[in-house]
Chains A and B, each alone.
Chain A
Amino acid sequence: DTGVSQNPRHKITKRGQNVTFRCDPISEHNRLYWYRQTLGQGPEFLTYFQNEAQLEKSRLLSDRFSAERPKGSFSTLEIQRTEQGDSAMYLCASSFEELRGYTLYNEQFFGPGTRLTVL
């Protein structure tokens, strides 16, 4: 397995355009997370999926953002009507949540990210 992959790696768009990013998780991983990271900051949680179900969304996630994970495999993150403030690195992570003894194990592995620039 080659790890989590994200496409495209870079995206430049004009304000008002829609963009879509794709994340392919490590195979068999049942959880998939999306984050946004701006310069000098730590990643900020946006949303996550357990298989195909979207379970949590951050209050940071405006209505212009939508994510899907059809069939519980790859995921897409779409941003509609992009704004300059959307410029950031968008990171995807996946994990396999499982019970090990009495402990819930859920180690996340990150992809290389998609850098979005909105002009």
Chain B
Amino acid sequence: GIQVEQSPPDLILQEGANSTLRCNFSDSVNNLQWFHQNPWGQLINLFYIPSGTKQNGRLSATTVATERYSLLYISSSQTTDSGVYFCAVERGTSYDKVIFGPGTSLSVIP
């Protein structure tokens, strides 16, 4: 089945620093989403980005579908950015319809 990898697995940042999170996937996909899971477990939508580049405030994302990767940029990080960031890919008809990566755990310290 399709493999989804995320790097780095863990990241500690000083408040105000910038970071780049990466998601690699091993096969073609129909779409890709980035989520932030807060400490209470809620998955919050960041980007729906099967291809191209999008920006939302301090966050931006780029997916290069032909090369099978996506990047999430966080600029001027804040303590509220702490949590786990997941990418998820959706395929066509398949028993593994949606695959989440293992996540990047981000801690932003004051």
Distance in angstroms between the alpha carbons of A13 and B35 in the assembled complex: 30
Cross-chain contact A56 with B33 (CB below 8 angstroms): no
Distance in angstroms between the alpha carbons of A106 and B31 in the assembled complex: 8
Cross-chain contact A104 with B30 (CB below 8 angstroms): yes
Distance in angstroms between the alpha carbons of A110 and B48 in the assembled complex: 13
Residues of B near A44 (CB, < 8 A) are 100
Q: B98 at interface (Cβ–Cβ under 8 A)? A: yes
Q: Which of B14-22, B38-46, B55-63, B73-81 contacts A (4 or more CB under 8 A)?
A: B38-46
Interface size class of A (residues with CB under 8 A): 20 to 34
Cross-chain contact A41 with B102 (CB below 8 angstroms): yes
1/0 contact string of A83-110 vs chain B (CB within 8 Å):
0000001010100000000011111111
Cross-chain contact B33 with A45 (CB below 8 angstroms): no
Cross-chain contact A112 with B102 (CB below 8 angstroms): no
Residues of A near B40 (CB, < 8 A) are 112
Q: B66 at interface (Cβ–Cβ under 8 A)? A: no
Cross-chain contact A45 with B42 (CB below 8 angstroms): no
Tell which of A33, A45, A109, A113 has the most Cβ of chain B within 10 Å: A45
Cross-chain contact B41 with A106 (CB below 8 angstroms): no
The answer to whether A42 and B103 touch (CB under 8 A), given A48-B97, A59-B95, A106-B31, is: yes
| Residues of B that sit less than 8 Å from A by CB | 30-31, 33, 35, 40-43, 45, 48, 50, 86, 88, 90, 93-103
| Residues of A that sit less than 8 Å from B by CB | 33, 35, 37, 41-45, 48, 55-59, 89, 91, 93, 103-110, 112-113, 115
